[in-house]
Amino acid sequence: MRGSAREGDRSVRRRMTRAAAATATAALLFPLVSAATAATAARPDSGALQRAFADAAQQYRVPQSVLLGVSYLQSRWDGHRGAPSVSGGYGPMHLTDARTALASAPHHSEGAEDPRGDDSRPVRTLPEELPEPSRLPARLRTLGRAAELTGLDARTLREDPVANIHGGAALLAAAQRNLGLPLSKDPGQWYGAVARYSGADDRATASAYAHDVFEVIRDGERRTTDSGQRVVLPASPDVAENTAQTRRLSLRAADAGEAECPQEVACEWIPAPYEEFGEGDQKDYGNHDKADRPGSQRIDYIIVHDTEGPWGTTIDLIKDPTYVSWQYTLRSSDGHIAQHVPLKDVAWHAGNWYVNSRSVGLEHEGFLTAPDAWYTEAMYRTSARLVRYLAKKYDIPLNRQHILGHENVPGPTTMTIPGMHTDPGPYWDWAHYFQLLGAPFQSTASAAGGLVTILPEYARNKPVYTGCQKDPGEACPPHGSGAVRLHTEPSADAPLVRDIGLRPDGSDSTTGVNDHGARATTGQQYAVAERQSEWTAIWYLGQKAWFHNPRTQPTAVNAKGLVATPKGDAKDIAVYGRAYPEKAAYPEGIPVQPLSPLPYKLRAGQEYAVGTKSTGEYYYAPTFDTKGHRVIRGKQEYYQIQFGHRVAFVKAGDVTVRQSG
């Protein structure tokens, strides 16, 4: 399941009705694009897409650099074989079609969920259903408008990259005319039209989007697309955009309010409520806890989530005091950011109270199991800027020990493991994300280094996943992935390794898109156990796990660092999902939180990559009144390790830590 996390006997059921997708009918008002364009679409050579940009720019009198810059920010010029983005956008120009915008239950609401990952609060009963989301906005229905302007049918605009480029050019030209501006040859005179193309409804976001496009134009870009097309945007460092044009857009001024964001992004304050509700035994509060971080506790982690629902639904949910919370939401189409919970306070987003109290949660508009899911460059770039800001503010290292996916957060207890979340899933491009963060993954040692960093080539690495559709056995559409499969032997025919936490009956892991029991993901580091020909074995969940790592197309690079192994003659040691203090650290009147070892063991002779070292800590905050809140710190020290797909914790006294290799 993507969506449940339980701890103790607490059980809260939340469900969300499927979001309705608006349908837009468009009349075909203009003749079809010329036969020359159709011929271009059929050309098999690697320069066809470049010529398509040139043809569309000429036909609609849009500067080619503007067309290429907008397309790069939306899709990096990829076509995705006609499949939609997470916000229903198609093709290189990300033309959006509301009829295909996916709607499903948000991942926070599936099954029975403890919103905080802490059992210090009583059980409560919530409504069975939340209201349906409103109809999707115009920014998610641009493909219909492109059909009107070009005379091309919707299917062609979705599936044919050349037609899609013409649709985007037509939209830009129409935006320029609607602003009362000439179809100038000067790219800088298209700033207002580019800002309009973002679909943003506030000036700050539209301007930030246009700024990014013109940054791409000035710096230039070149890459090979997912269809093997070579596209080049030459650098134009002297382009000067006319930013005053945004005054013509008649957009609202977003309320920055208390938002904590870097200056170069557009950020809006949409607060999550901190309030009491209910009566009698059902009286409770939500949807986060007041704190005083980092004075009270360090912030060590940034957690990357996806929303499993559209923007409108997500914003409605964060306003509900009976729901969970997170610090930021990022919109896919334009990268717009909304902040909901002050950074000093604790949001309920990770399903593990220890992690919640020491982290910041970022929700990205998207769907983990969306067929051929992809995220826009605009959202990746804005998210990276936000993470860099947070990392600098709280001195958080830019690595996969501290920048975690929700799927990497451990279950706090054994019973919670099967219900822990699995977003953002195998389609999130961690390699590209960390390049944007300025901390790209690379080899740091020879083969004798003792560690490997998982690093497959995203576009070429396409393991088979199942479960994206209603039929759990049906294969998902082929798509790039940052994950590699782990087998019990150095063979693709060998069974996948087992995760006894996910499957206590000892059954094998599966290829399910939400099953990470035998999966290692880009940026994660593991200790090498053995190498055979094109296969590498790592220590994973207490066992040896093999992945294909051919020299001609490697899926990992060599690394070195600290590793933990059982101390002395110990045959095995306990592994934990949270680093809580020892019993003696709790003052009278505050219930002792059990350390609750997980069902795994770190066995003698095995090694695991070490991350953060910390002292046991627990934030006691069971009531709306903050007077009784308290941070309990002990003397017991822990090491964070990369134990499986998720991180885990071991007692410092149980392990020997040494240099790998």
Most confident of 7-16, 413-422, 573-582: 573-582
Give the CATH number for residue 73: 1.10.530
State whether 159 and 50 are in the same domain.
yes
State whether 237 and 282 are in the same domain.
no
Residue 625: CB atoms within 10 Å:
10
State whether 177 and 258 are in the same domain.
no
642-658: b or e for each residue (b if 16 or more CB lie within 10 Å)? bbbbbbbbbbbebbebe
**Strand 359-364 with 328-330, pairing:** parallel
**Strand 337-339 with 267-269, pairing:** parallel
Last residue within a domain, chosen from 249, 270, 304: 249
State whether 240 and 281 are in the same domain.
no
The predicted-structure confidence for 534-593, as pLDDT tens digits, reads as follows 999 999 999 999 999 999 999 999 999 999 999 999 999 999 999 999 999 999 999 999
* Structure token pair of residue 28: 């075909």
Question: Please, are residues 282 and 124 in contact by the beta-carbon 8 Å criterion?
Answer: yes
Q: Report the pLDDT value the prediction gives residue 5, as an integer from 0 to 100.
A: 33
| Three-class SS state of 602 | strand
Per the domain annotation, does 377 fall within a domain? yes
Q: How many domains does the chain have?
A: 3
Alpha-carbon radius of gyration of the chain: 25
Q: Kindly report which listed range (27-41, 368-382, 440-454, 510-524) carries the lowest average pLDDT score.
A: 27-41
573-595: b or e for each residue (b if 16 or more CB lie within 10 Å)? bbbbbbbbbeeebbeeeeeebeb
| Average pLDDT of the chain, as a whole number | 87
Q: In whole angstroms, what is the distance from residue 488 CA to residue 493 CA?
A: 10
Residue 214 burial by Cβ neighbours in a 10 Å radius (0-12, 13-18, 19+)? buried
Per the domain annotation, does 636 fall within a domain? yes
Q: Report the pLDDT value the prediction gives residue 3, as an integer from 0 to 100.
A: 33
Q: Report the pLDDT value the prediction gives residue 367, as an integer from 0 to 100.
A: 66
The predicted-structure confidence for 332-347, as pLDDT tens digits, reads as follows 889 999 999 999 999 9
Average pLDDT over residues 286-295: 96
Q: Report the pLDDT value the prediction gives residue 17, as an integer from 0 to 100.
A: 27
Packing angle, helices 203-219 and 377-394, rounded to 10: 100
Residues contacting 658, CB < 8 A, separation 6+: 562, 563, 565
State whether 297 and 330 are in the same domain.
yes
State whether 158 and 61 are in the same domain.
yes
| Three-class SS state of 301 | strand
Per the domain annotation, does 471 fall within a domain? no
Question: Please, are residues 515 and 496 in contact by the beta-carbon 8 Å criterion?
Answer: no
Does 19 have pLDDT greater than 50? no
Q: In whole angstroms, what is the distance from residue 521 CA to residue 475 CA?
A: 20
Packing angle, helices 48-60 and 64-75, rounded to 10: 120
State whether 193 and 282 are in the same domain.
no
From 263, 133, 242, select the one nearest 189 (Cα to Cα). Answer: 242
Q: In whole angstroms, what is the distance from residue 340 CA to residue 325 CA?
A: 8
State whether 231 and 281 are in the same domain.
no
Band of residue 264 on the pLDDT scale cut at 50, 70, 90: confident
% of the chain beyond a pLDDT of 70: 86
Q: Report the pLDDT value the prediction gives residue 81, as an integer from 0 to 100.
A: 83
Torsion 558-563-565-568 (CA) sign: positive
Q: In whole angstroms, what is the distance from residue 352 CA to residue 406 CA?
A: 10
Q: Report the pLDDT value the prediction gives residue 70, as an integer from 0 to 100.
A: 98
Does 366 have pLDDT greater than 50? yes
Decide which of 469 and 154 is more confident: 154
State whether 243 and 326 are in the same domain.
no
* Structure token pair of residue 109: 């609401």
Per the domain annotation, does 126 fall within a domain? no
Q: Report the pLDDT value the prediction gives residue 375, as an integer from 0 to 100.
A: 85
Give the CATH number for residue 384: 3.40.80.10
Does 433 have pLDDT greater than 60? yes
State whether 236 and 281 are in the same domain.
no
From 62, 56, 43, select the one nearest 228 (Cα to Cα). Answer: 43
Question: Please, are residues 495 and 404 in contact by the beta-carbon 8 Å criterion?
Answer: no
Q: In whole angstroms, what is the distance from residue 615 CA to residue 358 CA?
A: 13
Per the domain annotation, does 5 fall within a domain? no
Distances (CA, A) of 204 to 199, 201, 246, 337: 12, 9, 9, 10
Q: In whole angstroms, what is the distance from residue 345 CA to residue 343 CA?
A: 5
Decide which of 177 and 470 is more confident: 177
Per the domain annotation, does 318 fall within a domain? yes
CA within 13 Å, CB half, 317? 31
Q: Report the pLDDT value the prediction gives residue 21, as an integer from 0 to 100.
A: 29
State the virtual CA torsion across 64, 69, 70, 72 in degrees, nearest 10.
Answer: 120
Average pLDDT over residues 508-512: 94
| Residue 433 per-residue DSSP state | H
Per the domain annotation, does 214 fall within a domain? yes
49-87: b or e for each residue (b if 16 or more CB lie within 10 Å)? bbbbbbbbbebbebbbbbbbbbbbbbbbbbbbebbbbbb
Q: Kindly report which listed range (179-193, 271-285, 403-417, 513-527) carries the lowest average pLDDT score.
A: 271-285
CA angle 315, 366, 14 (to 5 degrees): 55
Band of residue 100 on the pLDDT scale cut at 50, 70, 90: low
E strand map for 88-191: 89-90, 95-96
Band of residue 467 on the pLDDT scale cut at 50, 70, 90: confident
Question: Please, are residues 655 and 567 in contact by the beta-carbon 8 Å criterion?
Answer: yes
Which helix (DSSP H) or strand (DSSP E) does residue 145 occupy?
helix 142-150
Per the domain annotation, does 20 fall within a domain? no
pTM to 2 decimal places: 0.89
Q: Kindly report which listed range (220-229, 386-395, 430-439) carries the lowest average pLDDT score.
A: 220-229
HEC letters along 493-542 = CCCECCCCCCCCCCCCCCCECCCCCCEEECCCEEEEEEEECCEEEEEECC
How does DSSP assign 339-405, residue by residue? E-S-TTSEE--SS-HHHHTTEEEEEESB-TTSTT----HHHHHHHHHHHHHHHHHHT--SSTTTEEE
State whether 427 and 383 are in the same domain.
yes
Residues contacting 259, CB < 8 A, separation 6+: 267, 268, 269, 337, 339
Last residue within a domain, chosen from 440, 458, 481: 440
Does 278 have pLDDT greater than 70? yes
Packing angle, helices 35-42 and 161-178, rounded to 10: 140
Q: In whole angstroms, what is the distance from residue 86 CA to residue 335 CA?
A: 13
State whether 192 and 148 are in the same domain.
yes
Q: Which domain holds residue 590?
A: 565-659
Band of residue 110 on the pLDDT scale cut at 50, 70, 90: very low
Residue 299 burial by Cβ neighbours in a 10 Å radius (0-12, 13-18, 19+)? buried
Last residue within a domain, chosen from 395, 411, 440: 440
Band of residue 307 on the pLDDT scale cut at 50, 70, 90: confident
From 521, 524, 525, 425, select the one nearest 476 (Cα to Cα). Answer: 425
